[in-house]
Amino acid sequence: MGFAMNAIEAMAFLFVSLIGLVALTALVFFFIDRFQTSDAIRRNYPVIGRFRHIFSELGEFFRQYFFAMDREELPFNRAQRDWVGRASDGKGNTVAFGSTRNLNVPGTAIFVNAPFPPLDDQAAKTEPLMIGPTARQPFMAPSFFNISGMSYGAISKPAVQALSRGAKEAGVWLNTGEGGLSPFHLEGGCDIVFQIGTAKYGVRDTDGNLSDEKLREIAAHETVRMFEIKLSQGAKPGKGGILPAEKITNEIATIRGIHRGKDSQSPNRHHEVKSFDDLLNMITRVRDVTGKPVGIKTVVGSEEVMRDLFQTIQERGADCAPDFITIDGGEGGTGAAPMPLIDLVGMSVREALPLVANLRDEHGLKDRIRVISSGKLINPSDVAWALAAGADFITSARGFMFALGCIQALKCNRNTCPTGITTHNPRFQKGLVVKHKYQRVARYAREMIHEVETIAHSVGVPEPRQMRRRHVRIMQANGRSVPMNEILPSYNPIA
């Protein structure tokens, strides 16, 4: 009996102590909130006002998992992410009952099925396509779908390792992003596109200028197949790349040639490139030094500007032309960028890609300049649309991030990515196991290629690059679809 009473008394004491502690904590926060001056809600509603901030933080979580419908969420909805997940897991992507997609949304692409498509044994695999025919070492690119630029620094060591090994397994190229070439890009043995950003990370001298010696060092790696001069990026045209200080390790600082302790921000353009003539000079210089194909990556702002570029190429001759042009849509993503640029600057890839493809063909450069499309193209319908619109290749960054396990936590810029993809915190990185994730990367790429080939066969052509704008209809606001070649006519509609 005495033991029971002691236990009850102890529990009562513990309960009273807990209540007292809660009351004391609430009192402390009451005075803190009442006398602070930075937050009006907390000052007027001490303690209770704190719940507003808590609920705001939790709202993002609840919307993603409980309230958003499969096709509602942005920047990528659950249906898009689930397709990548199933493809990466190798589970197959057949679905039952009916489509959950609202086909009446203006802008929706609908593919035109052929009455007599090629039989299965008449279908052809996509052949490799040459890039840089005038370079000393042209590149026969084996795949139309590849990995877009993601810098080591913006993403983690195990993420780069998994992408490198997965790219090799699937036979696709891996773009380094502007952060330079790390050992982890090379260890998988995949084809690599080295991106030269405005800060020249990895190919800069001590003054930050482009170094011919460093270019030769990079080009000496056999697996480095091409160089891409980055002019602008979809999520932040007119703004250089941003790597927050907390994501800069000693190793990243060494690879990039920067200092720790402060944000690393690239200039908003190449300081030596003030005109298209200057740009063509830079392209020619890098190609002459490295012997490998050289292209540019840009966001389109207007037709007039791109017409000026092609006019300059025509005046100077095709030998000085870029070997490829990567078109990044204004809807493209990044790890860190100002919201006004993410939301409001740069033409969508849906408008820019057909425009650039037409200008290239109009100037007789179809076989000289390859067009690469980027910007939220992560599902087969997106990639098939881009090929039909005029792209020779498509690259994706966030599709492969989803293949690595990204859950769209939207914490890329905080070094707290829960999946280990965009963080350098060892605690989170250990969740990204390279030997498993690289297989997901490879399966995603292979499944994408397979399903785009399936769409191509459905519209009546033997392989994806033979799709044309006439094979796609675009839904209009009045509920009727119109052939894409009537809305955006090709320069050469018969080709």
Look at residue 92 and tell me whether its pLDDT is greater than 90: no
Interatomic CA distance for residues 482 and 439, integer angstroms: 40
Residue 249 structure tokens: 């390790």
**Model pLDDT, residue 25:** 85
Interatomic CA distance for residues 119 and 460, integer angstroms: 10
More confident residue, 350 or 125: 350
Could you give the C-alpha distances from 236 to 151, 163, 300, in angstroms and in order? 15, 24, 12
Q: 144: closest CA among 374, 308, 470, 482?
A: 374
**Model pLDDT, residue 3:** 54
**Model pLDDT, residue 389:** 95
Summarize pLDDT for 384-405 with one digit per residue, the tens: 999 999 999 999 998 898 898 8
- Residue keyed to tokens 């790597």: 243
State the chain's mean pLDDT as an integer: 85
Summarize pLDDT for 314-327 with one digit per residue, the tens: 999 999 999 999 99
Look at residue 410 and tell me whether its pLDDT is greater than 90: no
Look at residue 329 and tell me whether its pLDDT is greater than 60: yes
For 128-280, strand residue ranges (E) read: 129-131, 139-141, 145-147, 173-175, 191-196, 224-230, 242-243, 264-265
Q: Give the pairing of strands 224-230 and 191-196.
A: parallel
**Model pLDDT, residue 18:** 84
Q: What is the mean pLDDT of residues 25-30?
A: 84
What percentage of the chain exceeds 90 in pLDDT? 49
Which of 1-15, 80-94, 117-131, 274-288: highest mean pLDDT?
274-288
**Model pLDDT, residue 221:** 97
DSSP string, 446-475: HHHHHHHHHHHHHHT-SSGGG--GGGEEEE
Look at residue 65 and tell me whether its pLDDT is greater than 80: no
**Model pLDDT, residue 20:** 84
Look at residue 207 and tell me whether its pLDDT is greater than 80: yes
More confident residue, 92 or 325: 325
Reduced 3-state DSSP string for 200-229 = CCCCECCCCCECHHHHHHHHCCCCEEEEEE
pLDDT level of residue 28 (50, 70, 90 thresholds): confident
Look at residue 305 and tell me whether its pLDDT is greater than 80: yes
Measure the CA angle with vertex 221, ends 155 and 150; round to 5°. 15
Summarize pLDDT for 418-458 with one digit per residue, the tens: 888 888 888 888 888 899 899 999 999 999 999 999 999 99
What percentage of the chain exceeds 70 in pLDDT? 85
Look at residue 71 and tell me whether its pLDDT is greater than 50: no
The model's pTM is 0.83
**Model pLDDT, residue 488:** 87
